[in-house]
Amino acid sequence: MASNGNGPATGGVAAGGRNGLAKIQTQKKHNEICHDDSGPTVKAQTIDELHSLQKKKSAPTTPILDGTQGPFAALSEEERHKQQLQSISASLASLTRETGPKVVKGDPARKAETPRISHVSHPHITPTISVSDSALKFTHVLYNLSPAELYEQAIKYEQGSFITSTGALATLSGAKTGRSPKDKRVVRDDTTQDDLWWGKGSPNIEMDEHTFMVNRERAVDYLNSLEKVFVNDQFLNWDPENRIKVRIVSARAYHSLFMHNMCIRPTPEELENFGTPDFTIYNAGQFPCNRYTHYMTSSTSIDMNLDRREMVILGTQYAGEMKKGLFSVMHYLMPKRQILSLHSGCNMGKDGDVALFFGLSGTGKTTLSTDHNRYLIGDDEHCWSENGVSNIEGGCYAKCIDLSREKEPDIWNAIKFGTVLENVVFDEHTREVDYSDKSVTENTRAAYPIEFIPNAKLPCVAPHPKNVILLACDAFGVLPPVSKLSLAQTMYHFISGYTALVAGTEDGIKEPQATFSACFGAAFIMLHPTKYAAMLAAKMQKHGATGWLVNTGWSGGRCGVGNRIKLAHTRKIIDAIHFGSLLNANYKKTEVFELEIPLQVEGVPSEILDPVNTWSDKKAYNETLLKLAGLFKNNFEVFVNHKIGKDNKLAEEILAAGPIF
């Protein structure tokens, strides 16, 4: 008989093997079958059965609550799932057919799973098509998948998806690597005719409802033609009294994971009682719009219907369209509740003092609002209600270009398992990301849950702000490092939304380029800027908040001549604002802009506080100051004729707070 190990095997008891290991028996037993009795065997007869043992069911569904708790609360688990699927089917329903699609929960690749099937009828709609191919198929719904499940879907089915060395999911957004503001449309109807800001300077480009429905039908038909779609049911706004339920239907795991990170993630209890969403996004970005459709100017279209509470995306896979589309929705819905929606960062001190940070790209908003001595409420989108400040989102969307551990340690450490990395370049072998590589785009991004930031406050709510900080990177070098603003000045500079970028000219000389973005987020606001400004002033006045203008740009001359204000000095200024010491400082007023500037700030050289002191060429300073003042005045012309209130006094006060020649 063959032996195995040190000598012949004997029947019955296994002899000791080498290194103390159990010895494998090869002698036939009474049933004439050789076997391995060195360890217990698994309780499976086939490989498929073994695989089924690998994954256990999720924790039992939450206890059925009292029947008054929600639309699904008094139902059995089976009925709850059925109503959930019917709700999704209704979202995917074509308006030209009698029923929504047949939806089945689960991955179509797992054929052995028992499907849950549902569809919803629309008896009030007269069908124009009695039967179609799409009516004969199932649409598999991958509902609120976990990051791990979405990783599997992306890696398996989406070309260009990889796991980086730190565990993040690297993916590509296709041909579009940024937003397409000129392709964004809003339905102009009885609901929006008088409410929204239309015309010169407005980001709202109109379309009619018929064209929206054409594009909606195109998006829904595309999604229903797929074997599977991803559905996310999530929330916006951490204030429980004013949160919004949103549903995102998409075709890519990348989009589903992105929104999983960026929206507020519901608990199992909240998900079971989710019910009908307040707003729905149909992301069919892989499919183009029809350019022959009225109002279409390219193959891309991002369409919003505020009456139907729906958004349609065609022709772009850039995930930021969903994030900012929902932000626009909040800019419409929240003011109707007397809640101010803000494009700002927000942090809170250990004593509960709250500061808002407004600023365009390159002003230092993210850097200055991220302070290890203060709690982070949010980095980008907030609401200010009677309850205080609340973050709209559940995550952060950070720029990654030239990212380093030294410059942005919190963002660097947040790029781990669960994070989406957009359009980055990495080593093909080690999968280490090169954040300086712009081969795909300069707009590389990371989307991660806010809890990935160590000092984030959860839930993301805070008391009423004490300080409102407007940041400007003034490349002209004539604005002071810090100014205390009156209420009217705060409104003026809030509406202006100024910063200056540095652009190279053909002959190589760098010249400042003034940039104005109303409310520091013109691309996303829905109402006239003065309406948001009036709400901001009212809340600041009611809660005793102070406005500040902080220049993080140049001093001693324009860019190329002067020097960038040191970040250390700006941080000292921000600290003085937080601590309240600047409120009690002595001030003097500048010319033209009439800004109140402190005579002294601890840790900051006094000579730089008044910009005229830092310019050696006083004539050039005055000329540059007047030039910038003229740019402010020209920009504000579009707002001059808009009345605020019955007597229009507020509009006059705001205009008077601008530069005086």
Q: Which residues are catalytic?
A: 179, 324, 343, 361, 365-366, 380, 445
**Contact criterion met (CB below 8 Å) for 483 and 596:** yes
Q: Which amino acid is at 266?
A: P
Name the residue among 476, 173, 200 with its Cα closest to residue 321: 173
Q: Report strand pairing: 375-378 vs 345-348.
A: antiparallel
Interatomic CA distance for residues 508 and 560, integer angstroms: 11
Residue 447 DSSP symbol: E
Name the residue among 326, 239, 328 with its Cα closest to residue 280: 326
| Torsion sign across C-alpha atoms 565, 569, 574, 576 | negative
Structure tokens at 42: 């698994």
Structure tokens at 131: 């039967």
What contacts 416, CB < 8 A, 6 or more positions away?
166, 167, 168, 448, 452
Interatomic CA distance for residues 345 and 365, integer angstroms: 7
**Contact criterion met (CB below 8 Å) for 23 and 9:** yes
Name the residue among 532, 539, 533, 537 with its Cα closest to residue 335: 532
Cα angle 367, 373, 377 (rounded to 5 degrees) comes to 65
- Supply φ then ψ for residue 87, to 5 degrees: -65, -40
Residue 60 DSSP symbol: P
Distances (CA, A) of 500 to 158, 202, 361, 439, 480: 40, 21, 10, 26, 14
Residue 435 DSSP symbol: T
Q: Which amino acid is at 136?
A: L
What contacts 601, CB < 8 A, 6 or more positions away?
482, 572, 573, 576, 582, 585, 609
DSSP per position, 598-609: ES-BTTB-GGGS
Run of H or E including 405 = none
**Contact criterion met (CB below 8 Å) for 415 and 168:** yes
Q: Which amino acid is at 581?
A: S
Classify burial at 336, counting beta carbons within 10 Å of its beta carbon; exposed 0-12, middle 13-18, buried 19 or more: exposed
**Contact criterion met (CB below 8 Å) for 629 and 592:** yes
Interatomic CA distance for residues 236 and 516, integer angstroms: 28
**Contact criterion met (CB below 8 Å) for 335 and 535:** yes
Helices H / strands E in the chain, number of each: 14, 33
Residue 256: beta bridge partners?
A: none
For 211, the 3-state DSSP assignment is: helix
Name the residue among 591, 329, 322, 317 with its Cα closest to residue 480: 591
Name the residue among 216, 215, 225, 217 with its Cα closest to residue 134: 225
Distances (CA, A) of 129 to 120, 265, 297, 409: 16, 38, 30, 57
